[in-house]
Chain A
């Protein structure tokens, strides 16, 4: 039995892809468009036939034992060997470029509850990148002029979404300051208070990266994602994109979610403390309950480039278009301009001081 799924055009047999613009499955060969459900139905029917025809294409399970964490699949279209790691759930055949999805990767615990389909296509990612690097005069010239994006790939990143209610309590030290004067003295009175707040706060869909391949900070930097666009998971949405299944479990992800929940809960309590000149947190605690965790796939465009032998990765939120990534700096230019500014400010202020005071 084949372990790969290719969504083929019911019209011409070409590999169809999910189109982020029309939110349908589109054939790049004959331009036919189909609903996700129609393609899935057609694919099931196709696979029933395929199973019988190409049963010799079974992956060699034993072969994988020699390569820890790797799996070998055979393309249903061309028979080419696809080697990928065991967390890969959707990729391309390196020989015929057909989009393939690993069947079985989304069964049982590995099946995502939700998926946010891509809203923005590769062109939008390229445009966003161009805009992102433009208007930055301190980018090294050879980065902008010789910059070629090595790779652009749309990836569905596995995320754990935490819903919960948090009971939080926090103690703050607050001060009020009063000033007045008489004929001889200026007075400052500082009154110190202990302020306590306790209450509850509900959260929905706090994401924590479930993939070790994806940089956590990069994923958090392109937040937020809008869960209103999330739909029930269907493997057809993966067609045309890469995808991984999670390799960081719920237990490993929970501390990060708790950390963010606590920070927000205390911040919410802090905002209710008003009428003081200063408020400082002394202690705080949270109790999380009604917690549920969902498994979701989030759309991300990853753009890789190499600069001075160093790989640089930029990420774009495939739903909102938010682009992030650390850009190199032309330090010589930066420090020269900074020095010029320093000298200019010194000269202007010096001249002002001279003319006004002497």
Chain B
């Protein structure tokens, strides 16, 4: 039972890690500040808007806030983009700490967006709450990129932030994801049951042929008389990294 518990524990841990890493990777608005300026519900709503743009144009709009980051903010943005936004060849990351900010532009964003305009939009004194400011930032960027990609605006910017339509995410994608995770859960369940059966059966069968005579080796009797190691050949395989060729960073 101990062995089984260990296996189940590992399975559970792997699934949680998989789920959390996937969840983190698809998060567009992430507030890691101690104050939690943006609540979880607000974050979900803003994520839905950002996801809408990304699904439609393949353009990621990201927001990140932390009280402080390790190292300089530029390097942090580069790392963050690699780790959590790596599927996007075009996008923007607005990263903030308590005393600095950085606008990180990738791909087409460099041709369309202006970091000063973005900061002005975000830091407009009329926004009382961070939620309003982030909402304005996402919509400003989204509208600009929509205009760039198809000449149409996605939404009309107003002085006040528009109510967020959280029903806009692509339902088909979500349905597919659900099916994948349900299927994965079922497979892991079957695997756990299989491991359990094997474990019980092995405990009940203790008569086994010995494969070696290791118990009867005279200690210290091993004497290696010849030894050589010859290099034969080597293979090098390379796989392309998913990354953005045109990324540039501006502040």
Contacts and interface: CB of A to CB of B under 8 A. Distances in A.
Interface string B207-251: 111111111111001111111111111111111110100000000
A194 B232 contact: yes
A356 B232 contact: no
A223 B211 CA distance: 12
A267 interface: yes
Contact of A201 (B217, B238, B243): B217
Given A189-B235, A353-B184, A136 B211 contact: no
Contact of A217 (B11, B12, B208, B235): B208
A134 B70 CA distance: 57
Contacts of A187: 236-238
Contact of A196 (B182, B211, B226, B232): B226
Contacts of A261: 213
Contact of B243 (A184, A220, A346): A184
A198 B216 contact: no
Given A199-B224, A203-B218, A183 B22 contact: no
Interface stretch (A87-95, A228-236, A246-254, A326-334): A326-334
Interface residues of B, number: 65
12 contacts: A186-B239, A190-B235, A203-B217, A224-B216, A267-B212, A272-B227, A345-B185, A347-B185, A349-B185, A349-B188, A356-B16, A356-B19
Given A196-B229, A345-B188, 9 more contacts: A165-B221, A183-B241, A194-B232, A217-B207, A220-B208, A223-B210, A329-B201, A343-B189, A345-B8
Given A345-B192, A346-B189, A204 B218 contact: yes
Contacts of B217: 201-203, 264, 268
B37 interface: no
A201 B221 contact: yes
B181 A353 contact: yes
Interface string B191-203: 0111011001101
A195 interface: yes
Contacts of B23: 356-357
A169 B23 CA distance: 54
Contact of A353 (B15, B205, B235): B15
Contact of A267 (B20, B214, B221): B214
A278 to B, nearest CB: 13
B162 interface: no
B227 A350 contact: no
Contacts of B240: 184-185
A324 B231 CA distance: 47
Nearest to B215: A224
A194 B230 contact: yes
Given A185-B241, A193-B229, A196-B226, A260 B236 contact: no
